Structure 1
Amino acid sequence: MTQTVTRWWLVRHAPVVGAHGRIYGQDDLDCDCSDAALFAELAILLPTEPVWLVTPLRRTHATADAIHLASGGMKPEIAIEPDLAEQHFGDWQGLTYADLEARRDGVYHRFWHAPADHAPPNGESFRDVIARVSRAIDRHTRQHPGRDIVAVTHGGAIRAALAVALELDPERALGFSIDTCSITRIDRIDGAGEGASWRIVAVNRHPQNLAR
């Protein structure tokens, strides 16, 4: 039976700088791409001729650029996919957790009782993130069947992708640890007469994470 395997390589961006303990979500902050050895190892682990995706946030662009620089090859065409962006925390972006604790409207406490379903004011819930990440995965899998797709994205989006692949309750998907500069690999398997299924190849693979 012929099968088509589309391989998703989900890379979390490099460490954010300038957050100073504040919730940043979709705030467009810089990241630290100074560890050349780390990016050289990432370049070795990733496929050589994939489809490249980043989000509208510049920390994913900078991370992709650092990987390409480390590989020594020409920079490929990169598409921007907004549906793979980090969770939007609405009015909470730019605030510290202490700021939220001090509020008396009760919204923050309700959020942490059910973080997958409650959205910050003018923001989105994690369940919302899963819905849009699922759309992006389905769309690009249809557009690039049988290809390697490298998406430089965010921790929340990667957890959402795992929720899609494993059909997890959103609350359980929040339990995944996703380090910066780590690789999570999920394969979409389509076969005639068999529908579609997912294979989880790696989660949070990082050159240093086993030593942490």
Structure 2
Amino acid sequence: MSNEAAPFVAQHAVPTGVVATRWWWVRHAPVREDGGCIYGQTDIGCDTSDRIIFEAVGKILPRGAVWYASNLKRTHQTADAIWSAGFPKPPSLQQEAALAEQHLGEWQGLNRAAFFASRPAAVGSYWFAPIDDPAPGGESFLDLYNRVRGAIERINTEHAGKDVIAVAHGGTIKAAIGLALGNQPEKGLAFTIDNCSVTRLDHLASADHSGWRVPMVNQQPWIAGASPNAMHQPAGPEIATASKLA
């Protein structure tokens, strides 16, 4: 008999007659090669060198799930790191461009600190701009929200009753939270989504009703298993400042 502990999967009761589609959102690993600049949909890589983080993430993800990632390589690299750390590799990873980060247009490539210093304080925005203010040549957060909502609704129909693991981006996950909170995109912006964190959102549907349940947001499973003197976190500039949002 194997001594390996069974993977932990949070369980929540589902009423009779209700179909639960469980979303497990994973934000990509930290980006180190941005040079302090806004990257948005720029297709740059991420740092997947800390195996302990990906082992911990894999322990709380369900087996047998449908896997999605955006079309940006940092999400694919993060998925590969989870599998390389011991999680059974799924038959396929479906790329979904609608789950990509917000396209920040002409802001991409600008120095992040200088950009925020030049912007008026927008209490209640918690993002690059108010939700309906698009970047020049790019998208607003509301644009991002609408495309993410469309993808979620389609996937809920295609994979009703299944576990869906989606490796995505901070803005994407904030949009998904806004949807779960009653189609209020501005509410999603109030949440912090750290690199490699796991957010669980359950879509519940019956014959005459549908809605969402939020079991956990920004869960960082590597912290729970670390000793006080050895906290394995995706340290570095990606989470060192609140301004690094994309």
CA distance, structure 2, for counterparts of residue 122 and residue 18 of structure 1: 23
Deviation of 1:98 after TM superposition, in Å, equals: 5.0
Letter in 2 for 1:178: I
User: TM-score, normalized by length of structure 2?
Assistant: 0.78
**Hey, what does 1:50 align to over in structure 2?**
65
**Hey, what does 1:184 align to over in structure 2?**
199
Q: 1:147 aligned to 154, 158, 162, which one?
A: 162
**Hey, what does 1:206 align to over in structure 2?**
220
Q: 2:148 aligned to 133, 136, 139, which one?
A: 133
Deviation of 1:110 after TM superposition, in Å, equals: 9.6
**Hey, what does 1:93 align to over in structure 2?**
108
CA distance, structure 2, for counterparts of residue 39 and residue 190 of structure 1: 32
Please give the per-residue CA displacement for 1:82-104, whole angstroms capped at 9, x wherever unaligned: 1110011001101113554698x
**Hey, what does 2:211 align to over in structure 1?**
197
1:1-212 matches, cutoff 5 A: 1-97=16-112, 99-100=114-115, 109=120, 115-167=130-182, 169-193=184-208, 195-208=209-222
8 Å Cα contact 1:25-1:86 kept in structure 2: yes
8 Å Cα contact 1:8-1:149 kept in structure 2: yes
| Residues 15 and 98 (structure 1), Cα distance of their counterparts in 2 relative to 1, 3 Å cut | closer
Q: Equivalent residue of 1:124, what SS? A: coil
Letter in 2 for 1:31: C
User: TM-score, normalized by length of structure 1?
Assistant: 0.90
Letter in 2 for 1:200: V
Please give the per-residue CA displacement for 1:105-132, whole angstroms capped at 9, x wherever unaligned: xxx5598875211011011011111101
8 Å Cα contact 2:19-2:161 kept in structure 1: yes
The gaps in structure 2 that reach 5 residues or longer are: 1-15, 225-230, 234-246
Deviation of 1:76 after TM superposition, in Å, equals: 2.5
Identity %, equivalent residues: 45
CA distance, structure 1, for counterparts of residue 190 and residue 133 of structure 2: 17
User: Which structure has greater helix proportion?
Assistant: 1
User: Which structure has greater strand proportion?
Assistant: 1
CA distance, structure 2, for counterparts of residue 42 and residue 100 of structure 1: 33
Please give the per-residue CA displacement for 1:26-73, whole angstroms capped at 9, x wherever unaligned: 001110101111111111110011000011100000000111111253
Letter in 2 for 1:2: G
Letter in 1 for 2:55: A
CA distance, structure 1, for counterparts of residue 25 and residue 34 of structure 2: 23
**Aligned Cα RMSD in Å?**
2.2
Aligned pair count reads 207
